[in-house]
Amino acid sequence: MLAVLSPLMDDNEILKALPKAEQHIHIVGSTRPETLLWLVEDSGVDVPYKTLEDVERFFQYRNFTHFIEVYSAVNDCICDEVQFERIAYEMLESDAECNVRYVETSFSAPDHVRRGLDYGRMLDAINRGVRRAKRDFRIDCQLRIDLVRNYGPERGMEVLDWIEGKGDNIVAIDIGGSEGGFPPEPYELVYRRARDMGLHLVAHAGEVAGPESIWGAVRHLGVEHIGHGVSARWDSKLMDYLRDEGITIEACPVSNVRTGVVSSIQEHPIREFCERGISVTVNSDDPSMFRTDMNNEYLQLHRELGFTVPELFQLSLNAVDSSFLPERRKGRLRRTFIKEYGSLAYDAESFK
């Protein structure tokens, strides 16, 4: 049954008002342009951009490889652990402005330890930002540690040592980085150990590599979520497997357009995945670097791929249902979402 929506709100207002959860957002990729300039000044780093306009031009990407180069350059501007408090706080402030209530965010700790920063102090700073945001905006956030596949499984094991020593607010591991040259299979023992530690398992896969990358992540790493997963569209058996095994695809449509992974939102496979019965969520990935946010992601799906308000709300519920929250908290959040949706539409009963 189609939703009967409030006649006092247009589609843009309804999409903004939908309660949301986000599963795939990188802390560094959420660094606001003005905050990047603050980092440059605070750290005394010599960079070619001096104004907000310069940063906007800097955040233009020729392809995925170029994006990784820009991302690494932003990493170089973070020279003090305490700077992460502001970045994390502002990330959650921006999500809260999109009515996001729960976030699982990715922190690429090895990138910064190799630059001389201390893991424990960085984690403390991030969690200070998380606590402040919860107090100020009533948004909850848990952390995923990105092992960064480029550094190899030996460093991955070392990162697990860090987590065992200090794992405050950490619920999962992931492997991001340069997927094309670093397949998932070598991380099998790392992921096995992480599972034994009680951590949830995620992997970036199928973003710039083919379906074989996703197969490697699900067969060898035992992942529960796939970040991006775009190339699954080319393998019907893989899509069936993801559906049957309940493996969630964390879709990042605007990101995939900005890095040239897909040519346009209209060409993004998120609709195919939903129609196939796969658990799919929508996410902003690196929102500041891609000039997007969760409201824009929902709006693009609505305008360009014809997602209805009920379909977009189902994506919100997918993000709650597949989150790494404890079951009791997950149930409470789901009921809250449905209650709020009921104030926007009269078909909330269909989501119970």
**Token digits of residue 201:** 């398992």
3-state secondary structure of 107: strand
Pairing of strands 225-228, 20-26: unpaired
- Catalytic residue of the set 81, 90, 207, 250: 207
Please identify which residue in the block is written with the tokens 């079951």.
327
How many Cβ atoms sit within 10 Å of the Cβ of residue 313?
A: 27
Question: CA 2, CA 35: separation in Å to the nearest integer?
Answer: 43
- For the question of residue 207 being annotated catalytic, the response is yes
Please identify which residue in the block is written with the tokens 């893991």.
119
How many Cβ atoms sit within 10 Å of the Cβ of residue 335?
A: 12
Question: CA 299, CA 320: separation in Å to the nearest integer?
Answer: 20
Query: Residue 77 gets which letter from DSSP?
Result: T
Count, residues in the chain: 352
Question: CA 154, CA 187: separation in Å to the nearest integer?
Answer: 9
Question: Among 309, 339, 16, which Cα is nearest to 348's?
Answer: 339
Between the CA of residue 231 and those of 96, 152, 213, 274, what are the distances in Å?
A: 31, 23, 9, 15
3-state secondary structure of 241: helix
Q: Which residues are catalytic?
A: 207
